[in-house]
Amino acid sequence: MRSLIALALLASPALAWEFTAVPVCTIKLDTPDLSLRVTYDPALSEPYGIALTVPAPWPATESFGLRFDGPSALSIGTGRHQLSADGRTLTVTDTGFGNVLDGLAYNGTATALAGDTEIPFDLTGARPVVEAFRACDVLPSA
């Protein structure tokens, strides 16, 4: 019986959201349309970062936003984003990410917004990962 349970667990799809604490605290989501990384590195002057990588380049725009839809819906935006050399990765760093973390933890879906480009992603399973990530700011640095 234990073998059947183990086999069933191995055959089940893995959760899309992941958390790692080493080498820096990181939330990961990988889908065919988006690779998302939220990081916390206390050694940096802006310790929080989010990087969103897509198959085709992001448009060059003056602003970037995230719209969170669900019970705690909110929209946030910035003009401080940067694009990688190939344009496929959009990055934002800051001294705090409370709204980003709340949006990820307490809603059902999110949409990354840059110009006319909209990349939606599911937030199912994000809450426990965000809770683990939030505990990072109390961990001693290595």
- Distance, in Å, from the CA atom of 73 to the CA atom of 87, rounded to the nearest integer, reads 29
In 3D space, the residue among 88, 79, 78, 71 whose CA is nearest the CA of residue 35 turns out to be 88
Please report, for the chain, the start and end positions of each structural domain, with discontinuous segments joined by +: 2-138
Model pLDDT, residue 137 = 64
- Distance, in Å, from the CA atom of 142 to the CA atom of 140, rounded to the nearest integer, reads 6
Say what the alpha-carbon torsion angle 117, 54, 25, 108 is, to the nearest 10 degrees: 50
What number does CATH give the domain 2-138? 2.60.40
Span 89-106, average pLDDT:
97
More confidently predicted of 61 and 138: 61
Summarize pLDDT for 39-82 with one digit per residue, the tens: 999 999 999 999 999 999 999 999 999 999 999 999 999 999 99
β-pair partners for 19: 27
Model pLDDT, residue 136 = 84
- Distance, in Å, from the CA atom of 27 to the CA atom of 21, rounded to the nearest integer, reads 9
In 3D space, the residue among 61, 57, 64, 63 whose CA is nearest the CA of residue 85 turns out to be 57
Percent over 70 (pLDDT), the chain: 85
Q: Which amino acid is at 34?
A: L
Summarize pLDDT for 8-36 with one digit per residue, the tens: 333 334 448 999 999 999 999 999 999 99
